[in-house]
Amino acid sequence: MKHRLITLSLASLITLSACSTYDPYTGEKKATNASKGAGIGAGSALVLSYLANRKKSSKERNKRMLRDAGIGAIAGGGVGYYMDTQEAKLRKQLRGTGVSVKRDGENINLIMPGNVTFKTNGQDLNQTFHPVLDSVALVVKEYNKTQIIIAGYTDSVGSNSYNQTLSERRASSVTDYLIGKKVKAARFESVGFGEKNPVATNKTQQGRALNRRVEITLLPIKENS
């Protein structure tokens, strides 16, 4: 029986468990988000809202992307299968890395915890995290009929302006790294959301660690969309 992940609304409360769980896709035993610090993504709702409010329509963006990246679109009936196979490959490549793979309808979200992705209070990527991003690059190059949205988030410590800038710089760092691995630049959109959309309380150290994250959202490029 196919397992489906429950999409969390932006207002959902996050419950942290202290026990071990099993990944329903890979069967891998893994630590909970609380102990692993992986964070729980609230899905692509904020990203989709951001894109919808851009001046250019999604159809115009997709046309530009297809032209500049030199790629094709997914035929209507094949979107689900295309994203399913990409998700399975990402889960296999990212097993045990601390990156959480979440499915949100047709979209795929990769949640990267800040404590393993970046140096403390910085925007520079940890060198130990480079192989993880290399794995992401391999898969998204193979499955190139997707738009890649990279969004940075912070906790609430510090000023709003500082956190906004830090989230933008961290998103840009991940974007630049993947482009450096020959992923087409035209496929990317980089954005920082600062303190918005926390996935846990900012009142505890553990909760703040979950909120400091970068999320990569993969959106299928569909024909006639």
Residues 184-218 have pLDDT tens digits of 999 999 999 999 989 899 999 999 988 999 999 99
Domain-located, residue 212: yes
The terminus-to-terminus CA distance of the chain in angstroms comes to 31
If 0-12 CB within 10 Å is exposed, 13-18 middle and 19+ buried, where does residue 216 land?
A: buried
For residue 71, give its domain range. Answer: 21-220
Domain-located, residue 196: yes
Structurally, the chain folds into a number of domains equal to 1
Domain-located, residue 115: yes
Domain-located, residue 141: yes
Q: How far apart are CA 156 and CA 200, in angstroms?
A: 11
Query: What is the model's pLDDT at position 26?
Result: 36
Domain-located, residue 176: yes
205: CATH: 3.30.1330.60
Domain-located, residue 225: no
Question: What pTM was computed for the model?
Answer: 0.75
Residues 110-160 have pLDDT tens digits of 999 998 898 877 899 999 999 999 999 999 999 999 999 999 999 999 999
Q: How far apart are CA 60 and CA 70, in angstroms?
A: 15
Domain-located, residue 191: yes
Residues 35-62 have pLDDT tens digits of 333 444 455 677 877 777 775 555 666 6
- pLDDT confidence band for 68 (50 / 70 / 90): low
Residues 71-100 have pLDDT tens digits of 666 766 789 999 999 999 999 999 999 999
Domain-located, residue 2: no
Q: What is the largest CA-CA distance in the chain?
A: 48
